[in-house]
Structure 1
Amino acid sequence: MLKNTVFAFLLVFGLGACQQQATQPTSSAQASTSAAKYYYPGEGDNWKHKKPEEVGLDAALLQQAVEWAKTQETTQIEKDFSTQKDIFGEPLGPLPATRANTNGIILKDGYIVAEWGDTKAADPTYSVAKSFLSTILGLTIDKGMIDDIHDPVAKYVHDGGYNSEHNSKITWEHHARQTSEWQGEMWGKKDDFIGKEAFGRGERKPREIQEPGTFYEYNDTRINRFALSLLRLWEKPLPEVLEDEIMDPIDASETWKWVPYKNSVVEINGKQMPSVSGGTRWGGGLWISARDEARFGYLFLRNGRWEDKQLVSEQWVKDATTSRGPVGPDYGYLWWLNTEGKAWPDAPTTSYAALGAGQNTVWVDPKHDIVIVWRWHDGKQNELFKRVLAAVKE
């Protein structure tokens, strides 16, 4: 997998509160019990299907939901990505020549109960990548590389990005909640989002910068700064971290890749390393299939455990998907929440999602043991969730 990512990079650009530690089962008997409790898909296509009625779903209602979803092709991102620059501004990284049509997969108790479209197409997933970055932060804390999420980033990263009085106050949690208010420029994009050429329709009006932690703004420049800070700590490319710690253990395919920008390269320990982005706003980003995203969503549904291994701590899963107070929307650590029932009125308040433009959706519903991945649709997530949940037999 890593070879594919690095090859793509070289080909395109020609560049040579403290969290608890992830706990392992205390005995082989406990591990076996945990692994046996839930179904986990095998490698590749070794993923069992079950008829809806076998897992407590009304087959006719579920099929109606799927047929409706098939009609909801996105109108935002053209198949050839020709609207990209107008929407987001001048790209910094590559984009595919084309993308798949709307597609999706529904899991119940880990089994595939519905699937439509090309769920194996490894397409850009835009800001769904932010929830993957969040998971790398969780791993960083689990492994003791960060003592406390409330620590200033400047305590760990000394590359000049946090030298100013303002930036020195920014904590890891601020980055994860998009309340950092980090000031500066990353890879040619400024934090203020001012300028039609650089930011397209995403251009912002000038405003006063607030104290870190007091103001929410969805801001990819700051997220890219966050990604670089994580790279500084790991001292190896984040795609390698994700592959070793998450994607290989959950038996993801070999098709995903995290594509950097043409200019997002830094030197660490004498080696040139790409720093990846938290989305595809300016090209690049995480290119991944719906099937692999379903595995990632299922890992979170199982509280960070895959078979007999705790890949990311249960505490991190809980913390990342818990509301953090009045600043900003219903948002955890780079995961979208439904705590107040405003995001998806017909879904459980305990459900949460990774969301990206286009629309790209990985929705996790612990109450009903359901994961839904829905790609390239027109943004009516609640309508699909409502239809699928109507199929759940009481």
Structure 2
Amino acid sequence: MKKIICLLFLSIVIFACTETDCGCAAPPIEAMYFPPIDGSTAWETNTIANLGWNQNAVQPLLDYLELKHSKSFIVLVNGRIVMENYFNGHTATSPWYWASAGKTLTSTVTGIAEQEGLINTNNKVSTYLGNGWTSAPLAKENLITCKNLLSMNSGLNDALGDDVSPANLQYLQDSGTRWAYHNVYVKLQDVIDVATPNHTWTTYFNEKLKNKLGMTGSWLTSGNTGSLSVYWSNSRSMARFGLMILNKGKWSETTIVNENYLGLATNTSQNINQSYGYLWWLNGKTSYHLPQSQLQINGSIIPTAPNDMYMALGKDDQKIYVVPSMKMVIIRMGEAADNVNLALSDFDETLWTKISALYQ
């Protein structure tokens, strides 16, 4: 009788583990792999065949990526490279910009600074930058917390461009009452610069994140903002970051960013845009807002993609897709897929139709 019960329990467990949240076959159960951080090119691989995926779906996906001006495409499953392809003269060592996908780097480093007790995201920004970092009335400026910058609900006017000088950061509505995609998030880099003793933003980022993951790359000044806001690296560095995020903030067994903070960062952060966390986009929610729009759109951002996916999205279709249910990270770097250069476009939906053909 005990044997029958044990066998029944085992069969239930096996059945439960063969499906994922996205309705597809689960990846093989194996330990998560992390490549060396010593600068070597060694990185374990897996194959389409070994995963039981559809080899016939590979070429249509690659053809579409090349047609849509891609420069690189990487698929990791359990940390191992399943696909790594370069297009249009790009190579494994070529740097490219993350654009707004790099917002997630700022989010992550903010979490690191908080776990080290250097900042508190509930504090007002002026705690660190002093009064007058905006041109808003002082009482309104003092409403804006670091968490408002992470959540994109500072209440500052998003229609004035990327310049984050005080004169260009103008009050529009009380913080927390309006969601708007705004470059003011880069002031978090200034907060960390002030709050971290014996460090600048760049040296703190390098020590606490970049070097611990074995990433390459550097921050470059963008436009006339005077802020270090655009990160450039090779595609594998982007994949390394995505892998750490997939592993709940750990690189192998080493904690990089607190799992609790990362959980907040990759879930809805406010009650206006359900599909936005702490500078991360969230799939599978009931509604979303687009940049430069106050219109609420019902449904998931990318209906063809897994509902549990969260995303770093940047101008010209820079992408980090993280899919916990499949232990998968996907990277796309390149030029704009179409004639628009927004972080979000219908490119995502078609791309995911072709990606999902690999495993469904």
- Matched position secondary structure for 1:391: helix
Residue type of the partner of 2:228?
V
Measured against aligned partners, the alpha-carbon deviations of 1:5-59 in whole angstroms (never above 9, x if no partner) come to xxxxxxxxxxxxxxxxxxxxxxxxxxxxxxx932111243111222112234222
Contact 1:70–1:116, Cα closer than 8 Å, also in 2: no
Which residue, 30, 44, 48 being the options, matches 2:44?
Answer: 48
Instruction: Specify the alignment match of 1:196 in structure 2.
Output: none
Q: Would the alpha carbon gap of residues 262 and 370 (structure 1) be closer, same or farther in structure 2, given more than 3 Å must change? A: closer
Which residue, 345, 353, 357 being the options, matches 1:386?
Answer: 353
Contact 1:105–1:119, Cα closer than 8 Å, also in 2: no
Q: State yes or no: 1:233 paired with 2:187.
A: no
- Matched position secondary structure for 2:175: coil
Deviation, structure 1 residue 156 = 3.6
Counterpart Cα distance in 2 of 1:300 and 1:165: 37
Counterpart Cα distance in 2 of 1:354 and 1:189: 29
Q: Would the alpha carbon gap of residues 116 and 188 (structure 1) be closer, same or farther in structure 2, given more than 3 Å must change? A: farther
Q: State yes or no: 1:259 paired with 2:196.
A: no
Moved more, 160-169 or 359-368: 160-169
Deviation, structure 1 residue 137 = 0.9
Which residue, 210, 216, 224 being the options, matches 2:186?
Answer: 224
Deviation, structure 1 residue 374 = 0.6
- Matched position secondary structure for 2:81: strand
- Matched position secondary structure for 1:70: helix
Matched residue count: 296
Measured against aligned partners, the alpha-carbon deviations of 1:53-73 in whole angstroms (never above 9, x if no partner) come to 223422222343223222111
Counterpart Cα distance in 2 of 1:188 and 1:137: 22
Counterpart Cα distance in 1 of 2:330 and 2:219: 22
Counterpart Cα distance in 2 of 1:262 and 1:336: 24
TM-score when normalising by structure 2: 0.75
Structure 1 residues 295-374: aligned runs within 5 Å:
295-328=240-273, 330-340=275-285, 342-374=300-332
Q: Would the alpha carbon gap of residues 349 and 124 (structure 1) be closer, same or farther in structure 2, given more than 3 Å must change? A: same
Instruction: Specify the alignment match of 1:121 in structure 2.
Output: 94
Counterpart Cα distance in 1 of 2:324 and 2:56: 23
Q: Would the alpha carbon gap of residues 351 and 262 (structure 1) be closer, same or farther in structure 2, given more than 3 Å must change? A: closer
Unaligned runs of 5+ in 1: 1-35, 74-100, 193-207, 266-274, 278-284
Contact 1:215–1:327, Cα closer than 8 Å, also in 2: yes
Which residue, 71, 80, 85 being the options, matches 1:111?
Answer: 80
Q: Which runs of 4+ in 1 moved over 3 A?
A: 182-185, 261-265
Residue type of the partner of 2:126?
A
Measured against aligned partners, the alpha-carbon deviations of 1:146-186 in whole angstroms (never above 9, x if no partner) come to 24x32222334325326811110111110001111247963
Residue type of the partner of 1:237?
T
Residue type of the partner of 2:98?
T
Give the superposed CA RMSD.
2.4
TM-score when normalising by structure 1: 0.69
- Matched position secondary structure for 2:278: coil
Q: Would the alpha carbon gap of residues 182 and 234 (structure 1) be closer, same or farther in structure 2, given more than 3 Å must change? A: farther
Residue type of the partner of 1:173?
K
Counterpart Cα distance in 1 of 2:142 and 2:280: 25
Q: Would the alpha carbon gap of residues 288 and 343 (structure 1) be closer, same or farther in structure 2, given more than 3 Å must change? A: same
Structure 1 residues 60-75: aligned runs within 5 Å:
60-73=56-69
Q: Would the alpha carbon gap of residues 168 and 301 (structure 1) be closer, same or farther in structure 2, given more than 3 Å must change? A: same
Q: Percent identity?
A: 23
Deviation, structure 1 residue 263 = 7.0
